[in-house]
Amino acid sequence: MDTKLLFQDAAGFQTPMLAVFAVDIAVGKDAEPLVALLTTSDAVADAAAKVLASGEFKATVGETLLLHAPNGLKAERLLVVGLGKAKSLSVDEVRKGAGTAVRAAKPLGVRELAIAFPEDHALDDEHLETLPCTLLSRVLVEGAELAEMDWDTYRSERKDRSVRLLSVVAKEAEKSTRAEIQEGFDAGVIVAAAQNFTRTLVNEPGNVLTPTELGRRAAAMCAEAGLRCEVHSTAKLLELKMGAFAAVAQGSEQPPALIVMTYEPKLGKGEAAAKDAPVLGLVGKGITFDTGGISIKPGDGMEKMKYDMAGAAAMIGAMRAIAQLKPKVKVIGVVCSAENMPDGKAYRPGDVVTAMSGKTIEVINTDAEGRLVLADGLHYAKTLGCTHLIDAATLTGACVVALGIVNVGLFSNDEATWQKFVDATKISGEKFWRLPCTDDYKDQIKSHIADMRNTGANRWGGAISAAMFLKEFVGETPWVHLDIAGCAWHDENKPWIANGPSGVAVRSILEWVRGYEA
């Protein structure tokens, strides 16, 4: 989708469809909705006034109202998009509103769409004052670009419903305001492209996106973005004594891939990096297909296990955005990619493997493979000099049972690092819920034969047991663990986004990284 930013009066803009946002400004639990448009254009307000006065449109999130041949406007259609209650308006509703506009245009055959930029002073009491125009511009573009994607990639008779041109139309403003809107717009294009890159990877079937192919695509992205990239396979795993990672990979004919991506911030002339400057490690689980191995999964729903590399894809997408937005902090991305297959060479329940750190692991269940590859990935990131770590993985079904499909499970061993991530979500709009990983749970992973076991001693608190296992490999290094199993794939279409891969955590990881800028 070609996306443009224009500064002019929306009422006078010629387009097949003009979208404008609306909120409910009514106060009180039982108050009837009172709809207000987020525009100061009298012509746009007049065009929608009659139908808005009827009360049929409530301005709930994702609700739309389509008017044909609106009086006083050059647009052929006026689409009013609800953002919900004004008092609770956040960046997430604006992102969803922009996505709703694009999704509404697609089935109508509208190939060119304009969205009126929400104006700070459209409401009498300035409800938008907590949403700076730079951020509004960014999330609007993100929502629109994410909504444009459909995932019928391999259909031989794909229907072309793409919106080819999106124009964001902002009212002419002071030069400084225009610069802020442009800044947000440019960032939004970059972040959305990175998240869509992640989603494209996750959508690929396992026979296409093997570990080798994931490495190839990561390397190609790095070459284009200006990142340093190394892709290794079995020999490197053996050289590094990554016994846990190698054990998972050994049952497949497809070789594993250890992908290392490095971003070095550019320093000014005569400037040197501080000796105590942080180095951030992004570690992703990249199981391109997960059968469960010898502890094989039930056949029902196994086709979804192509998404078991969504954590790796999130890190690759985040690295792409980092390369383009250029934060002043060093970042190293480590992806551990393999297939988990039940071949005659596969690792077995009861095996004891030795991780790169030297810790020994009793394998109780070969379907708990993600924590094994991450164990070696996290330790390896530390050896590369990372001072702070974050990992993302579709790790446990237990996390989905605990939190459903709304919140990602979040674990951390350090309050300041956790708080930095919470601050990042205020911009990303993504939802996380912190779960404990205190030493009270350590007995769950005790083994009689090895240093630890790869599953909990019982079924209770399975997501916590997995986090406790990973915690053993980060030591005292500040760390955040994201269990994205419930949120990496949308099973249903939403008004603002198609079902399929979500690209969850890309935005939050990016903002977490930017929080460490010097």
Active site residues: 297, 371
Q: Say if CB 331 and CB 513 are below 8 A apart.
A: yes
Q: Which of 429, 319, 322 is nearest to 99 (CA)?
A: 429
Which residues make Cβ contacts (< 8 Å) with residue 209, sequence separation at least 6? Answer: 201, 217, 288, 306, 309
Task: With residue 105 as reference, give the H or E element that holds it.
Answer: helix 91-105
The tokens for 450 are 């090895």
Residue at token pair 């060093």? 330
Q: Which of 230, 235, 229, 233 is nearest to 212 (CA)?
A: 233
User: How many angstroms separate the first and last alpha carbons of the chain?
Assistant: 34
In whole angstroms, give the CA distance from residue 346 to residue 340.
Answer: 8
- In terms of DSSP bridges, do strands 64-68 and 77-85 run parallel, antiparallel, or are they unpaired? antiparallel
Q: Say if CB 390 and CB 412 are below 8 A apart.
A: no
Distance between alpha carbon 123 and the CA centroid of its chain, in Å?
32
C-alpha R_g of the chain: 24
Phi, psi dihedral angles at 94 (to 5 degrees): -65, -40
The tokens for 485 are 């199993």
Distances (CA, A) of 153 to 50, 97, 201, 296, 428: 42, 25, 12, 28, 27
> Max alpha carbon distance in the chain (Å)?
79
3-state SS of 299-348 is CCCHHHHHHHHHHHHHHHHHHHHHHHHCCCCEEEEEEEEEEECCCCCCCC
Distance between alpha carbon 171 and the CA centroid of its chain, in Å?
31
Distances (CA, A) of 324 to 295, 455, 510: 42, 39, 11
